[in-house]
Amino acid sequence: MRDKPYEIRTWKDLPYATLTEVPSTFNNTGTWRTVRPIIDYDKCISCMTCWKFCPDVAISIVPNKKEGARFDEIPEIDYFFCKGCGICAHECPVNAIDIVEEESK
């Protein structure tokens, strides 16, 4: 019987190329982006639906520092991680997120 070219028995046998040495916080998924989500804070109702749906955890809930603001907390996009998938804009119930062309680098 012919041997298999590569037999995987445990995780230690996985080919190295399928693994990464660093945690996902080092993966700059923002470099994948061709379009950029922009939050219109005048329309935003701070429901945090975008925060919940972002697959890259690129949206944080941060204190609203604006004087006389309607909401104490607002969503903030971290463009280091945002890959421009557009899910946040699709899920926003009040269309407060615009998707614009990324400026060419």
Name the residues that contact ligand SF4, by CB under 6 A.
37, 39, 44-50, 54, 56, 58-59, 75, 77, 82-88, 92, 94, 96-97
C-beta closer to ligand SF4: residue 8 or 45: 45
**CA–CA distance, 89 with 91 (Å, rounded to integer):** 6
C-beta closer to ligand SF4: residue 27 or 87: 87
**CA–CA distance, 7 with 47 (Å, rounded to integer):** 49
Q: Of 30, 37, 67, nearest to 51 (Cα)? A: 37
CB of 40 to ligand SF4, least distance (A): 8
Q: How far is CA 36 from the centre of its chain?
A: 11
CB of 104 to ligand SF4, least distance (A): 18
CB of 100 to ligand SF4, least distance (A): 11
**CA–CA distance, 28 with 32 (Å, rounded to integer):** 8
